[in-house]
Structure 1
Amino acid sequence: MTSLTHKPPRQGANNAPASEFSLRLERELAGRVHFDQATRGRYATDASIYQITPVGVVIPRHQEDLRLALDIARDAKVPVLARGGGTSQCGQTVGDALVLDTSRWLNQVVEFDVEAQTVVVEPGIVLDHLNAWLKPHGLWFPVDVSTSAQCTIGGMAGNNSCGSRSIYYGNMVHNVLELEAILADGVEARFGFVDRLAEGSREWQLAQQVRAIAEGVAPEIRAHYPKVLRRVGGYNLDLFDCQNPLPYDAAGRPNLAHLLIGSEGTLGVSQRITLKLSPLPEQKVLGVVNFPTFYQAMDLTQHIVTLGPMAVELVDRTMIELALDNPAFRPVIEKALIGRPEAILLVEFAGQDRTAQLAALAELNTLMADLGLPGSVVDMPEAGEQKALWNVRKAGLNIMMSMKGDGKPVSFIEDCAVPLEHLAEYTAKLTEVFNHYGTEGTWYAHAGVGTLHVRPILDMRRDGAAKMREIAEKASALVREYKGAYSGEHGDGLCRGEWVPWQFGEAVNDAFRQVKRLFDPAGLLNPGKIVDTPKMDDERYFRFPTSYQRIPITPVFDWSNWNVERDPLTGAQTPPGSGGDVTHGLAMAVEMCNNNGHCRKFDAGTMCPSYRITRDEQHLTRGRANTLRLALSGQLDDTGLASDDIKAALDLCVSCKGCRRECPTGVDMAKFKIEARAARARVKGLSLRDRMVGEMPRYAPFARHLGALVDGLEKLPPLSRVLKKALKLAPERSLPRFTGHFLAERQSTSHQDTSRGEVLLFVDTFNNYMEADNARAAKRVLEAAGFRVVLNRPEGERPLCCGRTYLSSGQFDKARAEAERSLHYLMPFVERGVAIVGLEPSCLLSLRDEFLQYGFGEQAKRLAESAYLFEEFLVAEHQRAPFTWQLNPLTVSRALLHGHCHQKAFDAVKPVETVLGWIPELDVSLIDSSCCGMAGSFGYEAEHYDASIQMAELSLLPAIRADNGQALLVADGTSCRHQIKDGSGREAIHVARVLAEALG
């Protein structure tokens, strides 16, 4: 098997050809088996700095698959690595092994006891999914880690996860009652309280042997195990110690399951996990304490925890500034600030009695006044604002990783935990260490338990590894001075494994080796973790070693804004493009993906619709970014962006731009797909369908004369199917009809009032030739509001076009030419202050997005600032001076609104809700939906029809059917309206038509 360019060669049995091994897996398993280079490359990384290509990937369909995979691997002497969400930050889930991904199918609730408040789950279930399932019963699993939307319970058990509220609920190990696992020899064991194990059973025998090992080093355990809540290193051998100040069970009973918690899959592969649940707090209040200095925040935390809060979480100045730069987070973080604090603490009180929680919040205000900071608390008693701010905090890692340039915050000492009384001194001294090495760290997270996430900014391609080693040594000395834990969260993995002997001493480390041999004599379960680990700075395992190279490539877009260097101490950036070859900007934009897996979420937002229907890493934003990174660094083949692997990875990307807004590091897969389509078009050429899609704006004036022919074809299904098959269009789709030419019509003015001045209505191809009623309605509404409306129709030329159809079909040069033509025509209007208002989100928003990367310079920026969607413009003008028009009630009292993906990406759905709210007696509900699935031509394409409908069936079409035809359906996107029509038989209309109807 070909390994990645900078990975050390595999040794021993694993060097044998994979064919015999992989063929047996494919033959005997019902699930998916992958041994191709691209899939292995996608599973070679997690959210750490490491990359190791696995032997292969198995996605077990059921528990029998899991057992069979382990049996086959054991026969072949191939190591195995169980993996859930792949979000580990220390390299636990990468290795030279057969990866077992349980997240797709082994994700069910097996048993539930509401009275006992317990639940049994499979390891692949996502934490947020479990808590959504439990919520109707008033219960939750309270180990609420920041990656709750994508992490799995199995991974949390492997890492001994903690979460924001561990000060109150404890860690994973305090909330697991039993664990069923397959051992290395294939035996299925059920681990639980030792006094309940059947005498003579395999579990009982293991318990006696582990107890003997632990008792042999009991003095060393008491001397070296840190006395802090947040310590997750090594194996939990202290579970037998009745003198343990932090017992894992409230009654002090030893539970052998707790030995496997935090074992990182090195002792067994989880099948089912029994969790202890807690009542869901009905009342929560939040106090945001603003501090003038970071030191004060750290020093005063020890006093705040005496109030008994459920959580005390830190956000420092750097994180605040990065959040302010993110359009999704800016309005949220601004509400939490008083002036310009250097740090804020999020202090939460929760329980069943609201009066008690409000009293606690008042007590916090009093305490801060007593400590010399009166008026420093922003009270947030309401659930909505609390949730929004917690979402910012939960995105802390991704916000921090949004820094552009090769220098990135690196995880290796971020989870050190120290007693609270030493927290201020520890952070101050560690900051001095960072300064000594010409860098800085961003601090955030669990102040209440003395575990602060901090990642020094290092460039691993240059001198980062050497600095990492020296900083780690100095940090470890501080941890030892303050009697803390080197691994306070996120486990050991590859970045902290070598520090296990340092933390626990050689005697305990030898005991760990005995435990490993007892459970896994051949060393086949996730080898190289916890015991006998490699050095943290062995760059053969780095994702970005010093040998990392980007292949030469000339992108079509201007990516120079990503090609920056950052001063790690001041944060200052060099001018775009001055940090090296400007063609590297594309690769640097791709490398912004830190593999944290936020795109795996299902609970809200748009991202990532293709993953939601496939559960396949290949069709995930993270998976695509990894594939692009591998291609751009020559780790797949020499074809770069034109490769078949890239085409396959981007095949189901609908360019929804959900990642543009929802990915906190700003990965913009829609633009990457444009680059890939253009590259492939240069090499492979264009299909007839590509040309038909791209050239639509040119042939639309003639196609409008063929309406009768199209109608006739649709009435002759055999002939229609032949035509659609020739064009590779889905036979289930109705052919689009070109019914008019709005811009060629003789325009009349419905109102003479032009007191508000001039506005240019940018009528796109779709609303000009297909749905001219939308343009007519928009013009009428704007005139009723007091504007003189001019249209985008150059004299003697064909109508203007944004070029999107060309972009989506790989014809970049034509797209840029169309954009340049539009820019030249529109700039005189922009220069005299005329707003450019559009109807189709994907077209108008191109002026605010793609136009900025064509290399048009300052003119494109000025155009973007003047470009508005129809409803955005109305809201802005109404806020400046309310309209005097009279809107009347409609014949319906309810409206269901579906937002176009690009509206969501630009936070432009709220204006639609606002203008609909102007209509008297109209109740508006926003459908909580991802992409509709049509996505321009995507839903018309024969090979994508099924995926298109599956996306619509996620929530959009069920919501429409549940309405029973009672509500008005509103959708601004042409594609959305077509999908709704084809999928439900109902008509959705543009908001402009709704307002025009309300005008009477």
Structure 2
Amino acid sequence: MSTTYADAGGLERALAAALAPELVEFGEGTRAIYATDSSNYRQVPIGVVFPRSAQDVAAALKVCAAHDVPVLGRGGGTSLAGQACNTAVVFDFSRHMNRILDIDPKARTARVQPGVVLDDLRHAAEAHGLTFGPDPATHAWCTLGGMIGNNSCGTHALSAGKTVDNVLRLRVACYEGGEYEFGEYDEAAYAALVREGAPEAGILGSLREIGRRHADLVRERYPDIPRRVSGYNLEQLLPGQPLNVARLLVGTESTCALVTEAVVSLAPSPGHRRLIVLGYPSVFDAADAVPSLLPHGLLGLEGFDVTLVRQMRSRSLNVEHLPVLPDLDKAIASGSGGWLLAEVGGSSAAEADAAAQSLITALPSGVSYRLLVSPADQRGAWAIRESGLGATAIREDGGHNAEGWEDGAVPPERLGEYLRAISELWDEFGYSGAWYGHFGQGCVHTRNNFDLHTKAGLRAYRAYVERAADLVVSLGGSLSGEHGDGQARGELLERMYGPELVDAFRQVKAVFDPRGRMNPGKVVDPYPLDTNLRQGPGYRRARPEPGAFFALLDDESSLQHAAERCVGVGRCRRDDAGVMCPSYRVTRDEKHSTRGRAKLLVEMFQGEVTPNTWRNKEVRDALDLCLACKGCAVDCPTHVDMATYKSEFLAHHYRRRLRPRAMYVLALTPWIARIAARVPRLANAVLNSGRFSALLRRSAGITTQRPAPVVAAKTLRRSHRGAELPDTPSVVLWPDTFTDAYRPEIAEQWRRVFESVGERVAVPTEWACCGRPLYDAGMLKLAKRTLRGLLDALDTYIAAGVPIVVPEPSCLAAFRDELPGLLPDDPRAEKLASLARSPAEHLLSLDADDLSPLAAEEFGVRVLVHPHCHARAAHSADADRRILAQLGYTVDVLDAGCCGLAGSFGFRAEHEPLSRQIGEEQWLTKIDAALWSEDSGGRVELLLDGFSCATQFSHLAHPSSPRPSTLAELIGRNCT
């Protein structure tokens, strides 16, 4: 439930004065986006601040204390126990306080700000042969501050320890603005602070006394296991050893202080690694095998079950890597199976090989295994394990799973016993789930089909987690082995520690936060675990929206249900791989991430923080910088498709309203191009003739910073008008708008290629269009009419089942995606979607012997392929790689992200600077690095097949850059 702070306006003004107006956001959209993390919980914040420095943090805390409002620190917002949402002022450290301040390779330390992404630190440390050991599955986007707050662990905590084991010093700010630096203190260091009258001395004295009073209970009740994460780290206060305040604060989830800087230890990174994938008849057998594997000096030992594999398949998530699993088909057929990933390493290949062979030799007979040596194969296997969070979020039947009991940890030797007992509880309560996680340390994750929507379901859920908590405690385990306590487990801590130690947590918090305003209701004096639920009994459930355009058949015909696919994993915040989310990668603003947009849409349908109306300006503004690249449809583990959601929203938002002028001009590009093609010389003169062109563009809201695309002297359709069509064509070459009007030579080249291998090619001359530009403007009524015209134009070929090749990737995506989505009632739509192919896909469908005329004439030509974003979304991109490899080329597929032009996006005047920034700072940088890499000896071809990609390259690339080729041009050279 949302709670409104009475003087939010006064607080916002005071914070803006203390920091800067652009660092403070109290708008309804921002509050809606930050109301949830990746957990089951939801609490609407009072506002959000984005500090740039430790001084900003202290100043903001003083203002908050003056207004007596709670505060909360947040990193990547991926917390799973509710600790990163609260009715408080949220401090988001990820936007500005994200720098690596120093790396000392001799001391093996790093000094970082809390918003540093873990992989950024790891990459910087790798230059010195070092790494930061703990590495959760979210390593590419989680922040060090969040890891410190939750005491994160990850795969390599087996060899490197938890975050707490790798923290040396912390600079923190407390509620009323006091700043401190804490580390480890022996008796002499403590005495020196007392003599100096240092402010830290009083804090240390209080903590020493808490440790003395509770020492016996800490020694008795703290489980001696690798993954004890629940509760505060009171073992750091025990008498007879140095008092370590920095490590005490790790895992306190910003309930005591906000971290503004950290000094962490770095560990040597083995230069050579080997991964042994072990297969077992069941996940229980895999768990039973853990103790026998641990003596082999493993770097990591992860595991998962066949249920996870099935869920990956149903979500099409990393399925290309599944063949590395031994006995995969047998496990799928039997419905039972489990795998372990055992990683070893060494400073040399021989040392790593020896470690792997030692483990393999010790395996009992009957255990199947596969040794993975190449880094690519190893990355694929790890990708399977890292699929856990995304793959388990949505069940095979389309329903949602939830956290709630996903983080228990037990002694590794009792892991099999624990999994069997929890599975029996599932049977008793009617729950199900997949097992995956850190088997080597007895910490296994799952998500379950909890009913959190009804009061009866919540009663069952509470009974279940209480029973599960008692079970894990009886086995000598911890309620949390990685994700922390937050609200999900805070209430259960007495079952693990007893009331006396829970009161000791309360005393520690009071030392740092006597007013109780630091992330209240989490860990200490927690909210009940079945309150503040994101989708509890009061939640407005999704239902089909009247007047919807897209069928959204996989989402119960509901845009709300579709947006609810986002469970907050946060993969859209990574910027090292994949496409999503190009606008976030530049702005670093959560509302421009796929996750932020999805959350805002869901909140719109609730109508509590932001209005429940299609006229919602906050949603419209958040979607404005969505490039509709469809990267999220592929990269998001739950397949959020923001391009479709944007199109649907805009169709309703502008219903019976005028759109901005640029929307009309760019959305109607196919019709404008059709007219321009009749008078190409005049059209090109008007569009690119100095002052008149600039005036025309400005009046239409089109950028003057880019030249307009040049209309071809003769379109493909006009060239083939009157030509004789084959009686029984074997393939149709479709003249999509971009190829027909601007690049007909590409289609002509494809026609020659197809005919050279014996194909009978038909080129339709009747004008029709897939309406690709209409979707970005939400002009869906016109899009549906246009698509029906397309079906009519191709009706004869559809009925005959003739393959239809679409040269432009964005148009092919429309054939496969928007067409059946908008016209589900026309059976021709689904059939045309199945017949539509990319040129490479069509070539691959032919007999390999027939392709001999197309074989590469020059041996060793290396081709760098940049896939169009929509080719990735339409799952046609890999065909380019496969056909080139088959024809004898050496192929590397670039992971350079979105080019930033994205069709009409980069031609709108207000979007052009962002489009250029995406292209120059991200896309071109990666392409240039690949083109000019030291190992790119010999001839190198850059392949850009999409119209947007080629246009952006021509606008932004340096004149000395090599001219890119198209696939038609590259292959066509061999048959002309």
Measured against the shorter chain, the TM-score band is: over 0.9
Distance 1:329 1:187, change over 3 A: same
- Alignment CA distance shift 1:439-1:546 (3 Å): farther
Tell me, in whole angstroms, the C-alpha distance in 1 between the residues paired with 2:507 and 2:34. Answer: 30
| Residue in 2 that maps onto 1:676 | 649
Distance, in Å, in 2 between the alignment partners of 1:863 and 1:170 is 55
Query: Per-residue deviation at 1:304?
Result: 2.0
1:439-488 residue CA offsets vs partner (Å, 9 max, x unmatched): 21221101111111122211322343222201111112211221211122
Matched-pair contact (CA < 8 Å) for 1:80–1:98:
yes
Answering whether residue 289 of structure 2 is matched by residue 300 of structure 1, we say yes
Once the two structures are TM-superposed, the CA of residue 366 in structure 1 deviates from its matched residue by: 3.7
State the shift of 1:884 in Å.
2.7
Q: Which amino acid aligns with 1:26?
A: A
> What do residues 492-531 of structure 1 show as CA deviations (whole Å, max 9, x unaligned)?
1011111122211111112111111111111121111221
Corresponding residue of 2:13: 23
Query: Which residue does the alignment assign to 1:280?
Result: 269
Alignment partner, residue 847 of structure 1: 815
Structure 2 matches for 1:279-678, cutoff 5 A?
279-338=268-327, 339-341=329-331, 342-370=337-365, 373-374=366-367, 376-403=368-395, 407-462=399-454, 463-538=456-531, 540-550=532-542, 553-554=545-546, 556-559=548-551, 561-563=553-555, 582-583=556-557, 585-638=558-611, 640-678=613-651
Aligned-partner Cα distance in 2 for 1:356–1:749: 68
Cα gap change, 1:204/1:637 in structure 2, threshold over 3 Å: closer, same or farther? closer
* TM-score, length of structure 2 as denominator length: 0.93
Partners of 1:781 and 1:808 lie apart in 2 by 33
> Which residue pairs with 2:748 in the alignment?
776
Q: Secondary structure at the match of 1:48?
A: coil
CA distance, structure 2, for counterparts of residue 947 and residue 452 of structure 1: 42
Q: 2:969 maps to which residue?
A: 993
Match of 1:567 in 2: none
Choose from 687, 692, 702 the match for 1:729.
702
Map of 2:334 onto structure 1: none
The Cα of 1:219 is off from its aligned counterpart by 1.4
Deviations 1:280-334 (A, max 9, x none): 1111111111111222122222222232322111111110111223435112012
TM-superposed deviation, 1:916: 4.2
Query: Given residue 971 of structure 1, which amino acid in structure 2 is its aligned partner?
Result: L
Q: Is the 8 A contact 1:177 1:276 kept in 2?
A: yes
1:154·1:270 contact (CA, 8 Å) conserved in 2?
A: yes
Alignment partner of 1:786 is 2:758: yes
Equivalent runs, 1:897-976 vs 2, <5 Å:
897-917=865-885, 925-959=892-926, 968-976=941-949
Are 2:220 and 1:223 aligned?
A: yes
Contact 1:895 1:924 in 2 (8 A): yes
1:979 to 952, 961, 967: 952
Structure 1 pair 960/86, CA: closer, same or farther in 2 (3 Å)? closer
CA deviation after TM superposition for structure 1 residue 665, in Å: 0.7
Give CA-to-partner distance per residue, 1:412-441, whole Å, 9 cap, x none.
221111122322222112111111111212
Deviations 1:832-880 (A, max 9, x none): 442111100010122221222121465433332222111222233254x
How many residue pairs end up in the alignment? 951
Shift of 1:785: 1.6
Find the aligned partners of 2:639 and 2:680 in 1 and give their Cα distance. Answer: 43
Distance 1:773 1:421 in 2: 67
* Alpha-carbon shift at residue 98 of structure 1 (Å): 0.4
Aligned with 1:83 (options 74, 80, 96): 74
The residue identity in structure 2 corresponding to 1:635 is E
Contact conserved, 2:479 with 2:496, CA < 8 A, in 1?
A: yes
Aligned-pair identity in percent equals 33
Matched with 1:50 is 41
Partner secondary structure for residue 820 of structure 1: helix
Q: Is the partner of 1:684 in helix, strand or coil?
A: coil
Structure 1 position 597, deviation (Å): 0.5
The secondary structure found in structure 1 opposite 2:29 is: helix
AA aligned to 1:292 is P
**Aligned mates of 1:154, 1:676 — CA distance in 2:** 36
For the aligned residue pairs, the C-alpha RMSD in angstroms reads: 2.6
Name the aligned partner's letter for residue 720 of structure 1. Answer: S
Q: Deviations over 1:563-589 (max 9, x none)?
A: 4xxxxxxxxxxxxxxxxxx54x32211
Return the letter of the residue paired with 1:956. Answer: W
2:777 to 809, 813, 816: 809
Contact 2:867 2:945 in 1 (8 A): yes
Equivalent runs, 1:188-199 vs 2, <5 Å: 188-195=179-186, 196=189, 198-199=192-193
Q: Does residue 1:240 correspond to 2:231, yes or no? A: no
Gaps of 5+ in 1: 1-5, 244-251, 564-581
For 1:35, the equivalent position in structure 2 comes to 26
Question: Aligned with 1:132: secondary structure?
Answer: helix
Change (3 A) 1:317 1:925: closer
Counterparts of residues 157-168 of structure 1 (less than 5 Å): 157-168=148-159
Q: 1:715 to 1:358 in 2, by over 3 A?
A: closer
Shifted more, 351-360 versus 92-101: the winner is: 351-360
Structure-2 change in CA distance of 1:999 and 1:281 (3 Å): same
Shift of 1:822: 2.4
SS of residue in 2 equivalent to 1:455: coil
Say whether the 8 Å CA contact 2:95–2:588 is kept in structure 1: yes
CA 1:560–1:707 in 2, change beyond 3 Å: closer, same or farther? closer
Q: What SS is found at the alignment partner of 2:154?
A: coil
Asked if the contact 1:890/1:998 (under 8 Å) is kept, the reply is no
Per-residue deviation, 1:550 = 4.4
Cα–Cα, structure 1 residues 420 and 645, in superposed 2: closer, same or farther, change >3 Å? same
User: Which residue matches 1:877?
Assistant: 846
- Structure 2 CA distance for partners of 1:683 and 1:176, relative to 1, 3 Å: farther
1:958/1:454 Cα in 2 relative to 1: closer, same or farther (>3 Å)?
closer
Gapped runs of 5+ residues in structure 2?
Answer: 332-336, 934-938
Contact 1:127 1:152 in 2 (8 A): yes
Match of 1:93 in 2: 84
Equivalent pair of 1:755/1:787 in contact (CA under 8 Å): no
The Cα of 1:808 is off from its aligned counterpart by 2.1
Say whether the 8 Å CA contact 1:404–1:562 is kept in structure 2: no
2:806 to 835, 838, 841: 838
Any idea what SS the aligned residue of 1:271 has? strand
Is contact 1:402-1:664 (8 Å) kept?
Answer: no
- Give yes or no for contact 1:756–1:786 (8 Å, CA) kept in 2: no
2:718 alignment partner, one of 737, 740, 744: 744
What is the rounded CA distance, in whole Å, between the counterparts of 2:228 and 2:551 in structure 1?
43
Cα pair distance change 1:892/1:358, threshold 3 Å: closer
Contact 1:33 1:58 in 2 (8 A): yes
Give the match for residue 579 of structure 1: none
CA distance in 2, matches of 1:964, 1:316: 43
Are 1:718 and 2:682 matched, yes or no? no
Q: CA-to-partner distance for each residue in 1:346-373, whole Å, 9 max, x for gaps?
A: 1111222333433333344344334xx2
Q: How does 1:849-868 map to 2 (within 5 A)?
A: 849-854=817-822, 855-856=824-825, 858-868=827-837
In 2: Cα distance, 1:594 partner to 1:960 partner: 32
Would the aligned equivalents of 1:179 and 1:272 in 2 still touch at CA under 8 Å? yes
Q: CA deviation at 1:206?
A: 1.9
Paired amino acid for 2:944:
A
Q: Which moved more, 1:143-152 or 1:851-860?
A: 851-860
Query: 1:889·1:919 contact (CA, 8 Å) conserved in 2?
Result: no
The secondary structure found in structure 1 opposite 2:298 is: coil
Amino acid at match of 2:260: Q
